[in-house]
Amino acid sequence: MKFGKEFASQMVQEWQVAYMDYNFLKTVLKDILRFRQMTNASTPMASTSRGPLKRRVSLYRAFSGLSSRHRSSPKKNEDEVILVNAAEQEGSEGNYQTMFLMSSDVGGEQELVFFRRLDDEFNKVINFYKMKVEELMEEANELSKQMDALIALRIKVENPVVEFDGADAKNLASNEVPSPSASVTHPITGRKTGRSHMDAIQEVEMSSEGRLGDEIQEDKEENAGDQRNSNGRKVEIRGFRPASLEILDNVKINVTPETPVSTLKGILMSSNSNLSFSKRELRKAEEQMTRAFIEFNRKLLLLKSYCFLNLLAFSKIMKKYDKITSRNASNTYMEMVDKSYLGSSDEISRLMERVEITFIKHFANGNRRKGMKILRPTARRERHRITFSLGFFSGCSLALVIAIGVLVHARGILKSKGRDQYMENIFPLYSFFGFIVLHMLMYSANIYFWRRYKVNYQFIFGVKQGTGLGYREVFLLSTCLALLALTGVISNLDMEMEPKTKNFRVLTELVPLGLLIVVLLTIFCPFNVLYRSSRFFLIRSVFRCLCAPLYKVTLPDFFLADQLTSQVQAIRSLEFYICYYGWGDFKTRSNKCLESEVYQSFYFIVALIPYWTRFVQSLRRLREEKDVMHGLNGLKYFSIIIAVAMRTRYDLKAGETWKFIVAVSSGVATIAVTYWDIVIDWGLLRRNSKNPWLRDKLLVTNRSVYFAAMVLNVLLRLAWMQSVLGFREASFLHRNALIAIVACLEILRRGIWNFFRLENEHLNNVGKYRAFKSVPLPFYYDNDEGKGI
């Protein structure tokens, strides 16, 4: 792979504008090469004849003497091509400027342009790097203060009274030797130990390590001091200072409402964030600090990668320049780069090492392998067996689809007497699996195209590193579910009742219910099989959606709620499962669900739940973020709630009056949501954009794709018109089949929406250089309420 492609593939996509523009500089070099080739082609004789007679210009310069010790020229030798200086400017630490010494040569003006562009790119990179380093150093200081409070809380909770032969807990810094027989509770493990009290304190002290950004010292130097061991022998311990408990006097726990109960308590009564020194508070603080350290270490890794890639890019582009121009400027320029802040600073490396030492000591009990596994989780490996299984199950599913088609045609099932009975009772049961499989296939395609166009979907969704599913895994799960469902369909294709008994085999009729139970058991399986982390992530997100607005709304929550709005028919199919196997007579393939008022009420309610979830989520975000756009989004979903309610009522009881009401409400809702999809969620239809009627930045180079997506979105949004205009049942198509087709079209529309919605979110992150998650910190001081330390 060429370096340009490798460079682009390893970029932090949210920072791609801040990287050196390698392709642009390479284009400038190509222009220089093209000009040189044209010049050489136009004057071949002059270049050949002038070659052996030409002397260096330096041979005609004034002789300065053999004993000269000082040169007024800043050049190191006569063949020097460039000089690089740091020009001090007001309000900045200086910008680097390159002086090109061969501008009078043929093509020198173009080379001068190259170095000006090179300086611009280098100054851009180094300024961005300085800014990010400063931000991380400030965050390191905050984490250090948080660790001071955590250490003190550990001592207070797990060993509240430390007896130093009569000394109280405030004298922890004392070098007096405690009794060797004293029993101490280990502040991290909670175990009783007979070691000296100073040994116990050493396990939890933070101040001896200094701040996260300080120089790293050897452990033997950190722990050196004046101490006696259990045998009474004196040991050198210098500079030891235990964590002070006095910090807890000014510290409060930063408890954010994360459960419905805590949210309701915060609304009904004033929240008390004072420390109660409970083990629950300590455990929660440790969990938050663990997440904070993991995210902070990730920031350090990305910034280090940013530095390395840019250094390599400048080296590559200068070598290309030397090769094209036959000059020797790369050594001089790279010497400057190495001496610059970008090449010489080691704050990030030292900070990374300090973070690792701190995390291993305080969160992994000194176990380096365990600590590094948590701090740097490895990415999921793509296995060949997944690809093989994917192909196998896909082939089996396709074979079953063909077999079902042949069976239906051969037995004339579509013209059978039991056709209507099958469509009313069995088809809704299996259509549930069809909706889920189609949605999974679309999501698998979304992941594939997100990865292809470098959309950082795992960061946007907040997926834990190393646990996110790829498109192969999602495709494999969908084909497995499709294979099970198609196998069940074949077992239920006998639509004719037995002429004598008018009965069906009970075992065959229970196949759909068995499939549903298998799927639910797989999703809620507590064992670490079948992508447990992803399953639990889905369960938590669904639960947070159902409990809205009692949870703080995150992007995965409202994104999943949007997916559920496209699965209304699947939710109604679940309701039909309960009615068919609970109240219906599945042995004779008959039910009276639509005649039940209870069923009709729930048929009405379940269709509104996804839209109601999005409505209250928008209100919660409006209350917290004070952004009027969330209020408008809430009005949009409220209009959809009205439209869906009218349409459901029309489905249950048709009438000309209801038809008019449905047409008006659905028309208003369709216009609102279509505009919101294209303009707000996708960020398109910008009149003054660089790309007319699109947006300034596009990930897909073919702009016609965006116009086609907008047209498809409008057409698929109008699929509801089939129920309003009277196309409720065609002669060749059952009503339930038509409903299923319309539901599938909505799922397809949602799959298209997903790609452009996340593309727009990703570009917003790129515009704000937002590549990290904001992790809440557990403590804050009284004078910094609402903020972490």
Task: Decide if 217 contacts 350 (C-beta within 8 A).
Answer: no
Lowest mean pLDDT among 33-42, 75-84, 175-184, 724-733: 175-184
Q: How many residues are listed for the chain in this entry? A: 789
**Residue 291 to residue 297: CA distance in whole angstroms:** 10
Percent of the chain with pLDDT over 70: 74
Other residues' Cβ atoms within 10 Å of the Cβ of residue 317 = 22
Strands (E), 311-360: none
How far are the Cα atoms of 21, 106, 112 from residue 109, in angstroms, in the given order?
Answer: 21, 8, 5
Q: 702 CB contacts (<8 Å, ≥6 apart)?
A: none
Closest CA to 182 of 172, 197, 171, 167: 197
453: helix, coil or strand? coil
Please tell me which residue, 15 or 411, carries the higher pLDDT value: 15
Q: Residue 37: pLDDT above 90?
A: no
**Measured in Å, how far apart are the chain's first and last C-alpha atoms?**
46
User: What DSSP state is assigned to residue 178?
Assistant: P
User: What DSSP state is assigned to residue 330?
Assistant: H
**Residue 710 to residue 715: CA distance in whole angstroms:** 9
Lowest mean pLDDT among 152-166, 216-230, 473-487, 556-570: 216-230
Q: Which two tokens stand for residue 539?
A: 């369960």
Band of pLDDT at residue 183, cut at 50, 70 and 90: very low
Report the mean per-residue pLDDT for the chain.
78
Task: Cite the DSSP H helix spans in 492-596.
Answer: 506-509, 511-523, 532-546, 555-565, 568-582
The whole-number pLDDT of residue 414 equals 77
Q: Residue 613: pLDDT above 60?
A: yes
Q: 531 CB contacts (<8 Å, ≥6 apart)?
A: 467, 469, 473, 477
Q: Residue 154: pLDDT above 70?
A: yes
**Residue 664 to residue 649: CA distance in whole angstroms:** 14
How far are the Cα atoms of 46, 57, 63, 636 from residue 60, in angstroms, in the given order?
Answer: 22, 6, 9, 81
| Ordered DSSP codes for 553-579 | --HHHHHHHHHHHT-HHHHHHHHHHHH
Band of pLDDT at residue 55, cut at 50, 70 and 90: low
Q: Residue 170: pLDDT above 80?
A: no
Task: Cite the DSSP H helix spans in 210-346.
Answer: 219-222, 260-268, 279-325, 330-339, 341-344
Closest CA to 611 of 660, 566, 580, 553: 566
Taking only the tens place, the pLDDT of each residue in 382-408 is: 678 888 999 999 999 999 999 999 988
Q: 538 CB contacts (<8 Å, ≥6 apart)?
A: 523, 560
Q: Which two tokens stand for residue 236?
A: 């050198």
Of all residues in the chain, what percent are helix, strand and coil, respectively (each to 5)? 65, 5, 30
Long-range contacts of 707-712 (CB under 8 A, 24+ apart): 709/682, 709/752, 709/756, 710/678, 710/682, 710/684, 710/685, 712/749, 712/752
The whole-number pLDDT of residue 549 equals 87
**Residue 305 to residue 132: CA distance in whole angstroms:** 13
Q: 188 CB contacts (<8 Å, ≥6 apart)?
A: 154, 158, 203, 204, 362, 365
Q: What is the mean pLDDT of residues 634-649?
A: 90
Q: What is the mean pLDDT of residues 641-668?
A: 82
Q: With the C-alpha atoms ordered 199, 204, 208, 214, is the resulting torsion angle positive or negative?
A: positive
97 DSSP β-pair partners: 85
Neighbour-count burial of 411, counting CB atoms closer than 10 A to its CB (0-12 exposed, 13-18 middle, 19+ buried): middle
Taking only the tens place, the pLDDT of each residue in 185-211 is: 333 334 343 333 333 334 333 333 444
| Ordered DSSP codes for 251-281 | EEE-----SHHHHHHHHHS----B----HHH
**Residue 280 to residue 282: CA distance in whole angstroms:** 5
Other residues' Cβ atoms within 10 Å of the Cβ of residue 4 = 13
Task: Decide if 739 contacts 552 (C-beta within 8 A).
Answer: no
* Rg of the chain, C-alpha, whole Å: 35
Task: Decide if 460 contacts 761 (C-beta within 8 A).
Answer: yes
Task: Decide if 309 contacts 10 (C-beta within 8 A).
Answer: yes
Taking each helix axis as running N to C, give the angle between helix 532-546 and helix 555-565, from 0 to 180 degrees, rounded to the nearest 10.
Answer: 80
Task: Decide if 566 contacts 750 (C-beta within 8 A).
Answer: yes
Domain ranges (residues) in the chain: 1-39+80-160+273-376, 162-243, 384-784
Please tell me which residue, 343 or 44, carries the higher pLDDT value: 343
**Residue 547 to residue 752: CA distance in whole angstroms:** 28
Q: For residue 164, report the phi and psi dihedrals to the nearest 5 degrees.
A: -105, 60
The whole-number pLDDT of residue 331 equals 86
